[in-house]
A = this chain, B = another copy of it.
Amino acid sequence: MNVNTKSLMIDTATILFQQKGYKSVGLSEILRACNVTKGALYHHFPNGKEELLIACLQALNEEIMTDIEGIFRAHALSKEAIQAIIEKLIHNLETDGTITGYTFSSIVSEMATVSEPVRHACSALYENIQHIYCEKLVTEGFSNESASDIAWLMTASIEGAMMLCLTQKSTDPLKMIARRLPLLLRA
Contacts and interface: CB of A to CB of B under 8 A. Distances in A.
Interface string A96-114: 0111000001101110111
A45 interface: no
Given A106-B110, A113-B98, A156 B163 contact: yes
A6 to B, nearest CB: 26
Copies in the complex: 2
A77 interface: no
Given A106-B109, A110-B110, A153 B180 contact: yes
Interface residues of A, number: 47
Contacts of A44: none
A84 B177 CA distance: 23
A23 interface: yes
Interface stretch (A28-36, A62-70, A136-144, A167-175): A167-175
Contacts of A99: 109
A128 interface: no
18 contacts: A20-B113, A21-B109, A98-B113, A105-B109, A105-B163, A108-B163, A112-B167, A123-B168, A126-B167, A152-B176, A153-B181, A156-B157, A156-B163, A156-B164, A156-B177, A157-B157, A160-B161, A180-B184
